[in-house]
Structure formats: C-alpha cells, structure tokens
Amino acid sequence: MPSDILSPTAQSTALNIFSNVLAQGISSYKRDAPLSLNCTPILNFALFTILSTPPNILWQRFLEDQFPTTIRAPHPNTEKPHAKEQPQNVTSIRNIAIKFLLDMTIGAAVNTVLFLGFMSYVNAPVNAGLDQGMWDVVANDVRRKFWPLIVDGLKLWPAVSLMSFCVVPVDKRVLVGSLVGVGWNVYLSLLVGA
C-alpha cells in the first residue's frame, strides 16, 4: 500500500480506536461502573477503518480530479493576455457545490450502508452462520438504522464537508474528517453498542 494511503489509514485507525475507547469510558461513567475495555468493538472499528479509509481517500481524489476546487481564471476576451502575465487561479464555487452534493449523497449513502452492514455482520451471533437468515438480519439492520443515521449525520457532516472542500488539501481531507469524526465515532460506538 502506498505511503500516501498507508499513513492516513494508520492515523484514522488510531483515532477510531481512541474514539471507541472513549465511548466505552462514557458508557461506564453513565452506568457508574468501573471501566472494563471490551476489545471486540475496538477491533471491529479498527478493521472497518482499515478497510474503508483507502477507498475514501480514492473517492476524495476522484472528486478533486473531476471537480478541482481551484481552476485557472479565464483571460478577458477584450484584450490579449501579455506573455508575462501568469493566469490567476480562482476558487470554483460550482465545483465545490458538485463535490459537496456528490459527497453528501453518494458518499454518505455508500459509507453508511457499508458501516451498518459491516457492524451488523461482525456483531451477529456466532451461531448465525452464513445462511440466508443471517443476511436477512444484516439487511434489516441496515434498513432500520440507515435513515436515522443519515439524518443524524446531516447535523455534522455537511459543515465538515464544505469546509474541507474549501480549505483542506485533498491529501489531508480524510485525516481532517477522522479528527472531526472522533466525536462522531463515539456516537457510532454508542449506537452500535445500543
């Protein structure tokens, strides 16, 4: 795995492990019980992050390649540009809006389905096996939790996504999302544990 994917994946995994441990600490505090770490959800979140971060890095690169935030400003048609003048770069509001809409629809839906499906699968009873019944349980869990999770995500991720597309370099977007996601992942950890 190239270092430009490996490094953010390792950083995101560490942040997700931290957020799951924090969620377990919050749960213990709410129950007024001593903290006893359950390694299974920590490992599940770590594995999901390892699997999901590289495609998300590629997704962010694809969006930026197709719809760059900064584009060259066109020269005015009224006069010819001087050879010494360098074309200026301007921020493309149109491209930011397209990336934002794609990320908040396709990106959010795919990530939500994959997260819910993965967590439902790894948390299924051991005796469930790979029969059709277990897949029905996973599908029902995804259907039941998809819209509530999307609606909850709309309270945080649009602002993060917009800020990220406007000011964060493409190679740092997943890491910035992971940093902001510490709180979100605490919420997800508590949701999955519920």
Task: For the chain, give every domain's residue range.
Answer: 3-193
Proportion of the chain above pLDDT 90, given as a percent: 61
d(Cα 74, Cα 88) in Å, to the nearest integer? 8
- Quote the DSSP letter at residue 70: E
Half-sphere exposure of 27 (CA within 13 A, CB side): 19
Q: Phi-psi bin for 129: left (phi > 0), alpha (psi -120 to 50), beta? A: left
What's at 120, amino acid-wise? S
Quick check: 157 and 9 in contact, CB under 8 A?
Answer: no
pLDDT of 68 over the 60 cut: yes
Rounded mean pLDDT of 139-166?
Answer: 94
Rounded mean pLDDT of 61-89?
Answer: 79
Per-residue pLDDT, 23: 86
pLDDT tens-digit series, residues 20-42: 898 889 888 888 999 999 999 99
Token code pair at residue 82: 């001087």
**E strand or H helix at 150:** helix 132-153
pLDDT of 83 over the 60 cut: no
Token code pair at residue 27: 């749960």
Per-residue pLDDT, 86: 67
Token code pair at residue 134: 């277990």
Per-residue pLDDT, 95: 97
Quick check: 47 and 20 in contact, CB under 8 A?
Answer: no
d(Cα 163, Cα 168) in Å, to the nearest integer? 7
